[in-house]
Amino acid sequence: MNDVTETFNTVYDATFRELMRYCLLKATIEDAHDLLQNTYAKFYRTLARKGTSAIRDPKAYLFMTLKHEISSFYRFRAKRKELPIEAVSDEPDDVSVEELSLDHAAIDDILERLREEPESTQRMFILYYGYGMKLGDIARETGTTATGVKSRLARVRKKLRTTFGEENAL
């Protein structure tokens, strides 16, 4: 049991972020929590029953399991509603992560404000600024349009500018 838990924790810490990204693309945050838990629970059970050396490629196993979980969780992908296109003037098409110049305190404030946003907006914000994904990629994977993603991010940036001032602008 000790070896199993030890192995589980090692693999868990090494793979969580990758699986999380996939979940952010394919599922809601609420569903992602259950999907990840089910996936890792199956992994643990397999380790416990078969031994820690039985799974040759844990990452591949976890991804395959997660994909199965998602496929049975959602019968088929539903098209999401297109967001209304908002006029956001003077917004660059893309704001690269390099242009984020925030100190530690500002980040905490921003994250606090981000929590107040709809969960789909939180996902897109994380995928864009955290993983550095392109607008078009996020749009395709989440079933919306690039314009919709752009408008959500622009809306969040606008709110943050209003709250924190230009010196902490995104």
Partner 1 sequence: MKNTSEQLLSFAENELMKKESIRRAVLREAAQKQKQPIVWTKILLPIAACLVLALGTVFLIPSARAEVLSWFGVSRPADYLTADPSERADVPELDSLIASPAANEDVVTIPIDRTDSEAVNSEGALKVSAFLHENCDVELGEAMFDGNTLYQTIRLNGLSGLYLLEHWTGSRTTGVPVDPYAVWGLYEGGPGEEYLSGEKTLYEMPESWIMYEMPDGKRFGGMIDLTSSIEGHLDRLHDLGLLVENKTEEQMQAIDAENRAYLAENGLMAAAQIFPHDYEQYLDADGNLTAKVYYVVSVIEEDRGDGSYVPDTELYNAQIGTITVNMKAYQNVESTAVKANAPVVWGAETVAVSKIDIDFGDPDDRYEDDRVSLYKQRVSTEGLTMTADTEGAEFSTLGIKNIRIRINVPESWTREDREALADSLTFKVLLNGESGDWFANPYNCKAEDDGTVVYELSEIENVPYEMMGSIKTIAFVPVIRSVDTMDVYHQYDNGTKKNPLGTMNPEYGVTEWSAPGVNSWNYESTTTEFPQYAVTLNVH
Return phi, psi of residue 51, to 5°: 100, 160
Which range, of 28-36, 79-87, 152-160, 161-169, touches partner 1 by CB under 8 A?
28-36
**Euclidean distance between CA atoms 102 and 80, whole angstroms:** 33
152, 86 contact by CB (below 8 A) = no
User: How many angstroms separate the CA atoms of 22 and 39, rounded?
Assistant: 12
Q: Does 57 bind partner 1 (CB under 8 A)?
A: yes
Yes or no: say if 1 and 49 are a contact pair by the CB < 8 Å rule: no
Work out which of 97, 118, 163, 165 binds partner 1, going by CB under 8 A. 97
Q: What span, in angstroms and rounded, lies between the C-alpha atoms of 170 and 167? A: 9
CB 127 within 8 A of CB 24: yes
Closest to partner 1 by CB, 86 or 125: 125
Window contacting partner 1 (CB under 8 A); options: 13-21, 83-91, 149-157, 161-169:
13-21
Does residue 60 touch partner 1 according to CB under 8 A? Answer: yes
Binding residue (CB under 8 A) for partner 1 from 10, 80, 88, 165: 10
| 156 near partner 1 (CB under 8 A) | no
Q: In the set 113, 130, 145, 147, which binds partner 1 (CB under 8 A)?
A: 130
Closest CA to 99 of 153, 25, 21: 153
Of 86 and 140, CB closest to partner 1: 140
Q: Say whether 54 sits in a helix, a strand or coil.
A: coil
Residue 120 tokens, joined:
């789909």
Catalog residues that contact partner 1 under the rule CB under 8 A. Answer: 1-2, 4-6, 8-10, 12-14, 16-18, 20-21, 23-24, 29, 32-33, 36-37, 40-42, 44-46, 48-50, 54-57, 60-61, 64-65, 67-68, 71-72, 75-76, 97-98, 100, 102, 107, 111, 114-115, 119, 122-123, 125-127, 129-134, 136-137, 140-141
